[in-house]
Chains A and B, each alone.
Chain A
């Protein structure tokens, strides 16, 4: 049996850099982190989505706390702001956008003010003076108080009430009283009855570290100066000031001005390190198809009651782009959106020393491409994982363990189980039937029937090639094996006269078209052309068509299969995830070998689509579904009236391939091959069979251990269980077999296990 070399050491200190630009451009396709449209439209960056979620749950305390992050005076803002969030709401496209302002006002009324402005907070050392009155000085003083600057407001009014009245005439009596109370609770000093002139300004310049002024005061003091609207500053005088009119301009201006104060107080250039300010464009995708409550909750005079506000907030559909996560069990398992997961997988490939914690997720993706089909921007997780796998293999950092069984299975398919013969009577052929390794392993009778049919109805000869197309090593990221497989297949095809390949499996068709090239068609194309074989029984019942990932983006194949199913009389059940959006069955990408747990979740998710039985056109899908107890048949089984029956275990899959080869050689080419017979009896308990299947231990492995025992007599007797335990190192693993020995009945295997570590006797 051939072996695959295990990587030599964990001490490999090299990485193969993936272009960061390429990865970043891929990551940027994922819009999960994009802000919702309401939030993007708000210059104050209110987290509207989280705010509405809290309000919908009746948690007005939390809602208000979120709102206070955006503004120190929630009622003034909610009653005076132009509400760009409401017009940006995606629900406007289907009905009424959320009445965000009304919910904000309700939160400001019913919520509990945060204690952030507490007088007990440690104050900053630098002091700030705000000259003038109106909305801008009010908001600015509030923002500075939030930042813990000792702030003094110098205004012309005689008391706090008069100061608050300035430019807030839109507030009703109740709102005014509430905001006055809020203002009084803030740690802001006021000096009333001031009339700032140049001398006053010069005095405050000496007394305070940073000076700010309302637009009116700034114009009065420096009539020829224009404020910079981005920094809110009269540059020549280093005077922070407001500009523009309206509540939003004042609130947003105050935010920008407070940041400028921050920079000036630290003697830093106010133009730098400002982050993102103001409204932004969002690329978020929102699925509106399930939006139902499209009309606004009518409000009472004086605003929403708490119940009404919660009801209105609950209409928010909480815009998130989770199209891929809704459909892919792999992404769901790791609870990470593809942008983030890709970044982490990218970083995983770049680790020089230390743990590669993302190996498991990287090897758990089925590489099926469903995410690309459902993502509004075509995010390609399969590409990310495939590139990462190849990258890790190329630097000798990829563990062999997750993929070794599958790779060995591939070597078996293209070794002991491989068969390539022209049709009897032909030296070269016009066609070659390539059913694929899974078809031979799972449904050998179907392969035989299909080959017989093709030989009898196609002119020019139909050769047969039983083997693996190379998808296994492609999925494992083993480029060198892929290349040697390609060369091997090319040589064999050349011997057959470079025939047109008739693939029995869409993944083989895709892989062969990409690797060996030439003309590659599906058996479905041929059957569509030549018609169903005589005697095909009609199936007059409904069934769901499970589209293979190998046929994603291949409308021609998807349609050909539907046409064949219709001719069979099947009433096809289409689901939301049919065609290009079809999920993987769990076999693709070697997930079933590398991560059986995730593979199981993927299979069950695929089966959730409908309760109807499934028709597949890839034998691995048929096998995965049947393994989960669901009625599933390959379309060729229906066409040829064969039944592959219960899913075979891993050893039966190998036996089926060998036996098919032997039978075909005998029946078609009159060649006898000896079947390996044991010269002793060997039986397995049910438990042993089940353990061997889940632990990926083959009957052949057990036989190799027993043969070794018979030759050398090395074993241990466990007096507690009465079982003998023998072992043998095979390739990269040591296999242990627990058995009993009987003169007449031979050996009964009770269990088997393996480990990859090698164990040796140590002297001393």
Chain B
């Protein structure tokens, strides 16, 4: 079985809490999708409700640059 590649990994290290479920966010599997392209990543997610958190640094950094690259395809 092929090993699935993760483009980006963030471990919340117990610093983030889901306000709805009152549990710490854990490193979980998520996927960014844009213009018919998908990127598997590991982000802080709530193990109960599945809330996926995208930190500001990631949104304005890597995510923004991939967005720009895809927009110009």
Contacts and interface: CB of A to CB of B under 8 A. Distances in A.
Interface of A: 6-11, 354-357, 359-360, 399, 401, 712-720, 724-725, 727, 734, 736, 738, 751, 753-764
A758 B39 CA distance: 10
B25 A355 contact: no
A263 B64 CA distance: 56
Contacts of A6: 35
Contacts of B54: 727, 734, 736, 755, 759
A753 B35 contact: no
B49 interface: yes
Given A725-B53, A757-B33, A762 B70 contact: no
Contacts of B30: 759-762
B43 interface: yes
B29 A736 contact: no
A759 B8 CA distance: 13
B60 interface: yes
Contacts of A354: 73
B37 to A, nearest CB: 6
A359 B20 contact: no
A8 B35 contact: yes
Contacts of B60: 753, 755
A762 B29 contact: yes
Contacts, number: 109
Nearest to B37: A10
B64 A399 contact: no
Interface in B1-51: 4, 15-20, 25, 28-37, 39-40, 43-45, 49-51
Given A9-B36, A716-B19, A757-B66, A359 B71 contact: yes
Contact of B72 (A355, A736, A758): A355
Given A736-B59, A753-B60, 6 more contacts: A9-B36, A716-B53, A758-B33, A759-B31, A762-B30, A764-B29
Given A755-B59, A755-B67, A760-B52, A9 B35 contact: yes
Contacts of A712: 20
Given A716-B51, A716-B53, A736-B59, A759 B16 contact: no
B32 to A, nearest CB: 4
Contacts of A756: 34, 67
Interface of B: 4, 15-20, 25, 28-37, 39-40, 43-45, 49-54, 56, 59-60, 63-64, 66-73
A401 B72 CA distance: 10
Contacts of A727: 54
Contacts of A755: 54, 59-60, 63-64, 67
B63 A355 contact: no
Task: Name the 10 nearest CB pairs between A and B, nearest first.
Answer: A9-B36, A399-B71, A10-B73, A762-B29, A757-B34, A755-B59, A715-B19, A761-B50, A757-B32, A762-B31
13 contacts: A9-B35, A10-B73, A401-B67, A401-B71, A716-B19, A716-B25, A727-B54, A753-B59, A757-B34, A758-B34, A759-B30, A759-B43, A764-B29
A727 B33 CA distance: 17
A758 to B, nearest CB: 5
A259 B57 CA distance: 62
A718 B34 contact: no
Contacts of A761: 28-31, 45, 50, 52
Most B-side CB within 10 Å, residue of A717, A718, A751, A755: A755
Nearest to B73: A10
B14 to A, nearest CB: 8
Contact of B17 (A714, A716, A753): A716
Contact of A753 (B25, B53, B56): B56
B59 A718 contact: no
A10 B33 CA distance: 12
A758 B63 CA distance: 10
A357 B68 CA distance: 11
Nearest to A732: B34
Contacts of A716: 16-19, 25, 44, 51, 53
Contacts of A720: 15
Nearest to A402: B71
Contact of A8 (B36, B50, B52): B36
Given A714-B49, A734-B54, A761-B29, A399 B72 contact: yes
B73 to A, nearest CB: 4
A764 B28 CA distance: 9
A338 B30 CA distance: 45
A356 B32 CA distance: 22
Contacts of A11: 36
A10 to B, nearest CB: 4
Given A10-B35, A10-B37, A762-B30, A757 B63 contact: yes
Nearest to B31: A762
A544 to B, nearest CB: 38
A720 B45 CA distance: 17
Contacts of A10: 35-37, 70, 73
Most B-side CB within 10 Å, residue of A10, A356, A734: A10
A763 B29 contact: yes
B32 A758 contact: yes
A356 B73 CA distance: 6
A712 B15 CA distance: 22
Contacts of B49: 714
Given A756-B34, A759-B30, A759-B31, A717 B19 contact: yes
B44 to A, nearest CB: 7
